[in-house]
């Protein structure tokens, strides 16, 4: 059976290749996977993971961390106090149907269903925990008199130092792939069906965290990792050729396009001659 029995152009990426691509993306765009407040980003002693990145990242002045605002301490506003923290992706792995690289938690069905892929993430994070003496040294701001200051300046947030307490979570997600036009470009994007965090209690906390992670991954995939369809064909010469128009092959004859099967992500394109 030929690859192009039902189409004119076919491209597939094996899961082993996808995982290498994921590794390259993480090493060339570390700031997409490592987030921290400025104090943590500037002090490698506070990192929960040492990011691996290529020499070009620093050579071209790209950040290793995406900087985030300090975590506000709730109820504290005189002055407001913020804690340093980081969230880092330590590992990411993709397994395309059928399951072969890793198992899934029972909550996600143990094994992948047809046309599904699994993502295994190890996410590490930590918060700087100030000692009591540090907190005692933060002066309390006197209350403001609204009769003397019509529009009082909000007091500046005070970041407090502290030792980093890190933890890691193993997160599994199950997704399918779909085509979606984003910013006028037809792209292939993964759609999250479910997320499971291993060993988090109580259940309500786990559910809330899973909701946050599912939201983050869903938006992240759409915004950052929606790959243009033509990228799968690596600049194939027919793309951009005036006398040929290329479009994803419809169903029928191709039931799933893109398809996740045989440990591969496959895309099918049909060519039409333009008069």
**Which residues of the shown chain bind another protein in the complex (CB under 8 A)?**
2-5, 7-14, 16-17, 20-21, 24-25, 28-29, 31, 55-57, 59-60, 62, 227, 231-238, 241, 243-244, 264, 271, 273
Q: What's the residue count for the chain?
A: 275
**Can you tell me whether residue 253 is helix, strand or coil?**
coil
Q: How far apart are CA 25 and CA 36, in angstroms?
A: 19
CA 93 from chain centre, in angstroms, equals 12
**Can you tell me whether residue 161 is helix, strand or coil?**
coil
* Residue 52: both structure tokens together: 């691996």
- Please state the closest distance from residue 202 (CB atom) to another protein, in A: 39
Q: Residues 73, 80: contact at Cβ < 8 Å?
A: yes
Q: For residue 192, what is the DSSP state?
A: E
* Residue with Cβ nearer another protein (31 or 115): 31
- Please state the closest distance from residue 135 (CB atom) to another protein, in A: 38
* Residue 206: both structure tokens together: 């786990």
- Please state the closest distance from residue 247 (CB atom) to another protein, in A: 13
* Residue 70: both structure tokens together: 């300090």
State the Cα angle at 97 between 93 and 102, rounded to 5°. Answer: 40
- Please state the closest distance from residue 29 (CB atom) to another protein, in A: 6
* Residue with Cβ nearer another protein (11 or 259): 11
Q: How far apart are CA 64 and CA 51, in angstroms?
A: 8
* Residue with Cβ nearer another protein (207 or 219): 219
Q: Which residues pair with 173 in a beta bridge?
A: 119, 195
* Residue with Cβ nearer another protein (74 or 234): 234
Q: How far apart are CA 275 and CA 272, in angstroms?
A: 9
- Please state the closest distance from residue 225 (CB atom) to another protein, in A: 8
Tell how strand 66-67 and strand 34-36 pair up.
Answer: parallel
* Residue with Cβ nearer another protein (3 or 102): 3
- Please state the closest distance from residue 1 (CB atom) to another protein, in A: 9
- Please state the closest distance from residue 248 (CB atom) to another protein, in A: 15
* Residue with Cβ nearer another protein (9 or 197): 9
Residues whose CB is less than 8 angstroms from the CB of residue 139 and which lie 6 or more positions away in sequence, other chains included: none
* Residue with Cβ nearer another protein (83 or 94): 94
* Residue 231: both structure tokens together: 């990228």
């Amino acid at each position: 059976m030929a690859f192009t029995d039902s189409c004119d152009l076919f491209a597939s990426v094996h899961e082993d290749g996808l995982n290498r691509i994921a590794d390259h993306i993480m090493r060339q765009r570390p700031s997409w996977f490592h987030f921290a407040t400025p104090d943590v980003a500037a002090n490698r002693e506070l990192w929960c993971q040492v990011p691996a990145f290529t020499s070009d990242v620093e050579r071209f002045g790209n950040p290793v961390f995406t900087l985030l605002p300090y975590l506000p301490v709730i109820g504290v506003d005189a002055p407001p106090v913020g804690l340093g923290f980081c969230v880092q992706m330590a590992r990411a792995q993709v397994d395309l149907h059928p399951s072969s690289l890793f198992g899934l938690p029972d909550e996600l069905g143990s094994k992948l269903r047809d046309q599904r892929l699994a993502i295994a993430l190890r996410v590490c994070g930590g918060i700087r925990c100030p000692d009591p003496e540090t907190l005692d040294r933060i002066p309390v701001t006197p209350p403001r008199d609204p009769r003397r200051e019509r529009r009082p300046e909000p007091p500046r947030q005070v970041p407090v130092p502290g030792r980093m307490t890190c933890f890691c979570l193993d997160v599994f997600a199950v997704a399918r792939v779909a085509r979606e036009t984003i910013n006028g470009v037809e792209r292939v994007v993964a759609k999250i069906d479910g997320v499971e965090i291993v060993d988090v209690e109580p259940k309500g906390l786990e559910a809330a965290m899973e909701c946050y992670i599912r939201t983050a991954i869903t938006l992240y995939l759409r915004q950052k990792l929606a790959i243009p369809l033509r990228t799968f064909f690596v600049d194939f010469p027919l793309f951009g050729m005036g006398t040929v128009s290329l479009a994803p092959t419809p169903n029928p004859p191709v039931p799933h396009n893109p398809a996740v099967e045989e440990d591969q992500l496959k895309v099918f394109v049909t060519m039409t001659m333009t008069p």
